[in-house]
């Protein structure tokens, strides 16, 4: 079922965006050498870096600060703990991708820089997509069933803050 509350809708859109971006990243780094157009690659890595800082991390912060405590209160603490554990691993991968992408962008021709980027980028692509898909299956419908209109409005204010 489609997300019903505004907060579920906003998280859903971000999940779809990040799944699409992680697919682009995974495809790009699956080649043995950076054999895609350098401008395309630069745009992709710039998009990934800005999505991490501007979308992924604030999205994780919101889930951890606001949603996971709610899940604990409502008897779904196991799901919250599992998702929070995945956040820890994905946050580390985000840092590794940002750092290695920066080195690669500063030195386009380096095969060492490409090799250093490839491992964390491949793992981030897989783990973040799987995480977003798991939340689409479990967290989004649960959230819709747990919150009322007032909580929805309150949460959207927190998201905008």
Q: How far is the CB of 135 from Fe ion (least distance, A)?
A: 4
The one-character DSSP state at 4 is -
Buried-state track 96-133, b at ≥16 Cβ within 10 A, e below 16: bbbebbeebbeeeeeeebbebbbebbbbbbeebbebbe
Phi and psi angles of residue 61, each rounded to the nearest 5 degrees, phi first: -60, -45
Instruction: Return the residue nearest Fe ion (CB atom).
Output: 135
Residue 98 or 127: the one with the smaller Cβ distance to Fe ion is: 127
Residue 63 or 113: the one with the smaller Cβ distance to Fe ion is: 63
Q: Which residues contact 26 (CB under 8 A, 6 or more apart)?
A: 121, 122, 125, 126, 129
Q: What is the distance, to the nearest Å, from the Cα of residue 79 to the centroid of all Cα atoms in its chain?
A: 17
Instruction: Pick the stretch among 20-28, 63-71, 94-102, 105-113 that binds Fe ion (CB under 5 A).
Output: 63-71
Residue 19 or 103: the one with the smaller Cβ distance to Fe ion is: 19
63 binds Fe ion (CB under 5 A): yes
State the alpha helices, DSSP H only, in 107-146.
111-134, 140-146
Q: Which of 68, 71, 100, 135 binds Fe ion (CB under 5 A)?
A: 135
- Residue matched to tokens 């996971």: 68
Residue 28 or 132: the one with the smaller Cβ distance to Fe ion is: 132
Enumerate residues 3-62 that contact Fe ion by CB under 5 A.
Answer: none
Residue 73 or 112: the one with the smaller Cβ distance to Fe ion is: 73
Instruction: Pick the stretch among 65-73, 101-109, 117-125, 132-140 that binds Fe ion (CB under 5 A).
Output: 132-140
Q: How far is the CB of 54 from Fe ion (least distance, A)?
A: 15
**Which residues sit at the interface with Fe ion, rule CB under 5 A?**
63, 135
């Amino acid at each position: 079922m489609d997300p019903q509350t505004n907060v579920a809708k906003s998280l859903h859109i971000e999940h779809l965006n990040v799944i699409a971006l992680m697919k682009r990243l995974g495809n790009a780094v699956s080649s043995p050498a950076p054999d895609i157009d350098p401008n395309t690659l630069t745009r992709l890595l710039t998009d990934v870096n800005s999505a991490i800082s501007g979308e992924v991390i604030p999205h994780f912060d919101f889930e951890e600060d606001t949603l996971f405590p709610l899940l604990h209160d409502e008897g779904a603490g196991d799901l919250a703990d599992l998702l929070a554990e995945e956040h820890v691993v994905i946050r580390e991968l985000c840092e590794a991708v940002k750092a290695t992408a920066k080195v690669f962008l500063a030195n386009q021709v380096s095969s060492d820089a490409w090799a250093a980027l490839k491992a964390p980028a491949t793992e981030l692509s897989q783990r973040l997509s799987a995480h977003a898909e798991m939340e689409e299956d479990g967290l989004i419908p649960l959230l819709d069933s747990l919150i009322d209109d007032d909580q929805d409005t309150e949460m959207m204010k927190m998201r905008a803050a």
